[in-house]
Amino acid sequence: MTRTPGVASAILFACATTAAAQSDLRTAAAGLTSADPAVRAKAACDVREHGSEAAPVIPQLVTLLGDASPVDRGVCGEHTWRFGHVEDLTTPGEQAASALVAIGVRSFEPLLASLKSPVWIARRNAAWGLGAIRDARAVEPLLRALGDENGAVRAEAAWALGATGDERAIAPLTRRLKDDDAHVRRQAAWALGVVAR
């Protein structure tokens, strides 16, 4: 059997690269259970960089969705503009949701299940993740989340419905324009502007 030196080198390089990536993922995943919330948030950011290859870490990320410990957003090297100002804080839960979105469609069912969490912050982060994934299967559960007892969950569900762009959301979002929570009203108005185009 004749071997081409370039092919053999490419195979060895690919194997070494894959092993290094798996080692990096294991290192990042280990930080997800740290006692330090900044380490947990940074670990979720590091896991996010692995994209779909991080699917084995989905259960740990789902566990973090309810983690509302505030940390400096700079821990992940990012700052976000929102409502005219820079948001300086993030949470391990928000970063876990972002990592789940980066993993992709394999995160859909775990995010969907998290909409039923007893922890409101987990429900909020799950709603955001479902909106960011933009899968039409999330529309009905997100419509139900518009009725959540917690205003932050309702607001995120409104945003997520806007992100999906599904017209089934128009009437429920219109009703949310009269919500007691101003943030819910703002998000519903934004979502209607996107969906009704």
- Domain termination residue (choose one: 72, 103, 134): 103
Note down the domain range covering 65.
25-103
Same domain, 33 and 93: yes
In the predicted model, residues of the chain with pLDDT beneath 70 are: 1-23, 78-87
Q: How many CB atoms lie within 10 A of CB 34?
A: 14
pLDDT per residue as tens digits for the range 70-91: 999 888 886 555 545 556 789 9
pLDDT at position 196 is 86
CA-to-CA distance for 121 and 26, rounded, in angstroms?
Answer: 26
Would you say residue 7 lies in a domain?
no
Would you say residue 18 lies in a domain?
no
In one-letter notation, the amino acid at residue 150 is: N
pLDDT per residue as tens digits for the range 18-27: 544 566 889 8
Residue 76 in contact with residue 41, Cβ under 8 Å?
A: yes
Q: Give percent of the chain above pLDDT 70.
A: 83
Q: Which residues contact 93 (CB under 8 A, 6 or more apart)?
A: 64, 65, 66, 67, 68, 121, 122, 125
Same domain, 132 and 85: no
The count of structural domains within the chain is: 2
Would you say residue 6 lies in a domain?
no
